[in-house]
Amino acid sequence: MRSFLSLSFLIALLAGEGSYAAPLAGLTGRSISTDMFSTLQLMEQYAAASYCSPNYDETPNTEVTCPAGNCPLVQAASTNTLVEFENSLKTDVTGFVAVDHTNSITVVSFRGSASIKNWIANLDMTQITTDICKGCKVHQGFWDSWTEARDGVLNAIKSAAASNPSYKIVVVGHSLGGAISALAAAELRKSGCDVALYTFGSPRVGNGAFSDFVSSQSGGNYRITHYNDIVPRVPTLVQGYVHITPEYYINKPNFKAVAVSDIKEYKTNTIFGGNNAWVVTDILAHTWYFNSIAQCYINSLLPKRDLDVEVVERF
């Protein structure tokens, strides 16, 4: 509990915000279809799977699984990991590349923050120039994380495309994993791949030039936020960071089942709708995207006798 509260306090300091206040009145957003809702559920579960050690322990050619029980849609599919990675030298970038024969997709999934190295990367907020696009500047720590995984991911995608050329490539991630996913998708698209990007509770990744470039790329961008989640509010606009668009906002309190009517699409960044409309924020909202997205990681922090999913969700 102490480590969790420390994390909350740190993020709150970075954002300069508090908690427990209603959002500003404003835009209502556009409703989504039931098909999109189903897709977002599946992609959230692939992001959740990146927190589960069987999927990143460097033993590929295994099914994607979630011991915490929070990725049933993924486990019902015919899956196979191609590459699993963890504990990189500088940033501990962690995740996997897998093929899903049931849904005809190749999935790249990056884990969110779960180690000291991850947090060092999070806090390295200096903007650096990249060759992604003219004028593109991105978060140093997020960029370092992506570049440590890049060669392995690109090789796996190349192999998967050769074996299953009709499969759609999707890149997913929660929190830090969402930020890395945005960089991965941008570069994969530049290399000629058709890539859909799904992020959950992602922080801002780069400057306006980067945001405009990624937002205009083909393949599909789905930046999902939940309620008054604090993480999408950092790094701040004052620091020169701008979100990619569009945003898909889940307007449902923590630990409640999400319905299709709870999600609205916002085509542009606005302070009058979506996550940005909240005056103050809450770290617990960051842990709940359709379900307890980081449950495998949370379970790893608890005493063995407490490894009950329902108990943890109430936490």
Q: State the catalytic residue, choosing from 109, 113, 145, 175.
A: 175
pTM of the model: 0.90
Q: State the catalytic residue, choosing from 174, 229, 243, 282.
A: 229
Q: Hey, what domains does the chain have and what are their CATH numbers? A: 2-314 (3.40.50.1820)
Say yes or no to pLDDT of 151 above 90. yes
* 175 catalytic per annotation: yes
List Cα–Cα distances, 51 to 54, 63, 71, 151, 279, in angstroms: 9, 15, 11, 21, 30
Say yes or no to pLDDT of 177 above 50. yes
Say what the pLDDT of residue 14 is. 42
Query: 145-162 burial, b for 16+ CB within 10 Å, e for fewer?
Result: bbbbbbebbbebbeebbe
Say yes or no to pLDDT of 187 above 80. yes
* 50 catalytic per annotation: no
Contact 61, 80 (CB under 8 A): yes
Q: In this predicted model, what pLDDT tens digit does every residue of 62-111 receive, in sequence order?
A: 999 999 999 999 999 999 999 999 999 999 999 999 999 999 999 999 99
Q: State the catalytic residue, choosing from 139, 174, 226, 286.
A: 286
* 286 catalytic per annotation: yes
Say yes or no to pLDDT of 5 above 80. no
Say yes or no to pLDDT of 18 above 70. no
Edge-first strand order for the sheet with 195-200 is 30-31, 263-266, 247-250, 221-226, 195-200, 168-174, 105-110, 95-100, 79-85
Say yes or no to pLDDT of 233 above 80. yes
